[in-house]
């Protein structure tokens, strides 16, 4: 074989392999991986890589479909299927196959992938050029990326606590929720986090802001704190599927309920806009 792809017991050339569309890696990047070199059909530092692989899976609470020894035996067997023994050996496990929802599937078994491709040993006498790049890997919340592991873990934690959402904060600043935007009403003003790189600028958020402005409700796109959230007149959560819900409790403490009339005006406007724009009689 020139390349090899493996998925839950089936393997072939990579370009011939297919996976279920509902594998959670497709929707959330919900999995972990490890990889390393192989020379003369001998996988280098296999024990260390497999230990790290299992540790990564454990930290994400992924139930491994095999033992460490079973995986090592499988990898050793698969490299023997290749035309060359100088290889890049990659393996990953995903949380399973289930209809898309952030919370973990109840009983979906994990999926094991392996990918092998030729890779000659590097020539260490080669001189390479480098650049420097500021590390912003965890500051791209404004991009609706498929890499949703933090949101998945937070949504699962909320579900296990009997809650609908999890509110993210950086230090004392409230940013957004696991898969929604978060806002507060205080003294007749809607406060919502600014559309910077720390939140995803939700479409429902934009419609909430527009509807508030139409209603003459002032909008302040400025950061607010956890303390301000806990003492707000109302706490709102918006998303394309939640529209505009209000909260009654945060961390088992009561919140909101102090501006029910203003809340209803906003919710009525949001719902009316949805009904109007989805009228079946519209062209």
pLDDT in tens, 228-274: 999 999 999 999 888 899 999 999 999 999 999 999 999 999 999 98
Cβ-proximal residues to 259 (8 Å cutoff; 6+ apart), any chain: 185, 188, 233, 234
The percent of residues in the chain predicted with pLDDT above 90, rounded, is: 85
Q: Indicate the domain borders of the chain.
A: 2-116, 125-275
For the domain 125-275, what is the CATH superfamily, name and number? D-amino Acid Aminotransferase, subunit A, domain 2 (3.20.10.10)
Read off φ and ψ for residue 6, nearest 5 degrees. Answer: -130, 135
pTM of the model: 0.84
Nearest to 239 by CA among 171, 137, 151, 172: 151
Same fold, 2-116 and 125-275: no
The encoded tokens of residue 45 equal 């530092």
pLDDT in tens, 34-51: 999 999 999 999 999 999
CB 253 within 8 A of CB 163: no
d(CA 237, CA 178): 11
Per-residue pLDDT, 282: 59
Average pLDDT, the chain: 94
Residues forming the active site = 144
Per-residue pLDDT, 160: 94
Q: Which CATH class is domain 2-116?
A: alpha beta
pLDDT in tens, 92-102: 999 999 999 99
CB 114 within 8 A of CB 75: yes
Least confident of 108-122, 182-196, 267-281: 267-281
């Amino acid at each position: 074989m020139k390349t090899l792809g493996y998925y839950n017991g089936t393997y072939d050339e990579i370009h011939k392999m297919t996976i279920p569309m509902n594998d959670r890696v497709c929707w959330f990047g919900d999995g972990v991986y490890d990889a390393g070199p192989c020379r003369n059909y001998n996988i280098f530092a296999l024990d260390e890589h497999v230990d790290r692989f299992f540790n990564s899976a454990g930290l994400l609470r992924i139930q491994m479909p095999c033992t460490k020894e079973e995986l090592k035996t499988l990898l050793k067997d698969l490299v023997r299927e290749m035309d060359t023994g100088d290889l890049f050996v990659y393996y990953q496990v995903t949380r399973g196959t289930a209809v898309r929802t952030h919370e973990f599937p109840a009983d979906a078994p994990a999926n094991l992938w392996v990918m092998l491709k030729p890779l000659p040993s590097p020539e260490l006498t080669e001189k390479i050029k480098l650049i420097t790049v500021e590390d912003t890997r965890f500051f791209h919340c404004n991009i609706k990326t498929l890499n949703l592991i933090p949101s998945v873990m937070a949504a699962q934690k909320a579900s296990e606590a009997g809650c609908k959402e999890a509110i993210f904060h950086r230090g004392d600043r409230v940013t957004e929720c696991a898969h929604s935007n978060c806002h507060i009403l205080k003294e007749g003003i809607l406060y919502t986090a600014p559309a910077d790189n720390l939140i995803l600028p939700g479409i429902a958020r934009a419609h909430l802001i527009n509807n508030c402005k139409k209603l003459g409700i002032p909008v302040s796109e400025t950061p607010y704190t956890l303390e301000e959230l806990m003492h707000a007149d109302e706490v709102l959560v918006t998303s394309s599927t939640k529209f505009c819900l209000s909260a009654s409790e945060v961390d088992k403490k009561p919140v909101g309920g102090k501006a029910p009339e203003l809340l209803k005006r906003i919710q009525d406007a949001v719902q009316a806009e949805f009904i109007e724009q989805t009228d079946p009689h519209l062209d």
